[in-house]
A and B are shown apart, each in its own frame.
Chain A
Amino acid sequence: MVTKLNYGLITIDWAAKPLMATVRINGDDKATYLTQEITF
């Protein structure tokens, strides 16, 4: 859980096998507070 001002960022790695997306929750201090790699 992140309780700072934040936005989400999804980055898709089209070259990854299997396909992978990385989701980051970035705060207003330019820090990344949460990273979740998702493979499909």
Chain B
Amino acid sequence: MKNFVTLFLLSCVVLTGCRAPKSGTATSPTQQPITTIAFGSCSDQKRPQPLWDDIVAQKPDIWIWLGDNIYGDSESMDTLRTKYALQKSNPVYQQLRQSTSIIGVWDDHDYGVNDGGKEYPRRKESQQVMLDFLDVPTNSPLRKQEGAYSSHTYGPKGQRVKVILLDARYFRDPLKKENKQNVPDPSGDMLGEAQWKWLEQQLTNSDADIHIIGSGVQVLPEEHVYEKWANFPTARQRLLNLVAKTKPKGALFISGDRHMAEVSKVSVPGLPYDLFDITSSGLTHVSAHMWKRTGIGLAKWSPNSITALLQLIGPRNR
């Protein structure tokens, strides 16, 4: 009998893996290499959504929601569900769902509260509602963990892409403010220790060739007063240090939130390539206010990093 049990357990390991689900891991590598990844943020479910046709036409392998996927702003889960349902009912988005792998993470408005962090009382329930929106199976390990962070791996070895989505809300400390303005809080954290540990595991000895790290709020920019990793400078530096320490192949950040798009870049000592933060926002509305405030050709330098904001002028000088 003992031999039978041993044989059964060995067979189980060989045939199915028999491993406990990895926290934060949502998908397994696929055999086909992926070449096209689309992403976006800030989609008010009530407003016209003119970009879906273009996005579908690009035939992306993956669509990444980067937060403010609805404007929920409520502690009522029924309200969040209703707003997600409206977003999901868009007929062209439905086409995208049929043809593309959809993944994502939240920012504040879909989390449930503007500029919210770990103090939001319905975060646990809101996580489940968002996972419903993303069609995450009920038996996924993402359903059992605290926080909506996840990793997704695509493509065969040698052409492998890992998308790591950070949850910068669930464990984030409250913003520090002076005269109603955000000010840096060196003692505050963004991810919480469980997510930091998970992230290090995702980056250490990863066999992916490209690592796309998504965050609702911007990782690199420091110069503006809005939400950003730089509001918690110790956490931001910890993230950059972690990337430098683990040296994943081909890492870049993508982000949303800002109601405008920009590219930022930083050189990290110890990392053999520059780190970019590509911000895309928004899908349904942008901020003319931001445009007037920020102006043209802004570049910021600091002793430990270089951030360059690049600008392209479109039709009608916009």
CB distance from A38 to the nearest CB of B (A): 6
A8–B254 CB distance below 8 A:
yes
A10-B39 contact given A1-B311, A2-B260, A2-B261, CB 8 Å threshold: yes
What's the least CB distance linking B80 to chain A, in Å? Answer: 23
Interface residues of A in 11-27 (CB under 8 A from B): 11-14, 19, 21, 23, 25-27
Taking a contact as CB atoms under 8 Å apart, the answer to whether B314 and A2 are in contact is: yes
Give A3 Cβ to nearest chain B Cβ, in Å.
4
Answer yes or no: B128 CB below 8 A from chain A CBs. no
Contact A28 B276 (CB under 8 A): no
Interface assignment of B281: CB less than 8 Å from any CB of chain A: yes
Interface residues of A, count at CB 8 A: 30
Task: Determine the residue in chain B with the shortest Cβ distance to A35.
Answer: B312
B204 in contact (CB, < 8 A): no
Interface of A is mostly: strand
Asked if B40 and A1 sit within 8 Å, CB to CB, the answer is: no
Min CB–CB distance B92 → chain A (angstroms): 13
Per-position binary interface string of chain B over residues 272-305, scored 1 when its CB falls under 8 Å from any chain A CB and 0 otherwise? 0110101011111111101100100000000000
Instruction: Please determine whether A19 and B261 come into contact, CB atoms closer than 8 angstroms.
Output: no
B194 at the interface (CB under 8 A from A): no
In the complex, what residues of A have CB within 8 A of residue B254's CB?
A: 8, 10
Does any Cβ of A come within 8 Å of B51's Cβ?
Answer: yes
Kindly list 6 other residue pairs between chains A and B, CB separation below 8 angstroms, not including A9-B58, A9-B60.
Answer: A6-B282, A9-B37, A23-B252, A26-B51, A28-B50, A31-B314
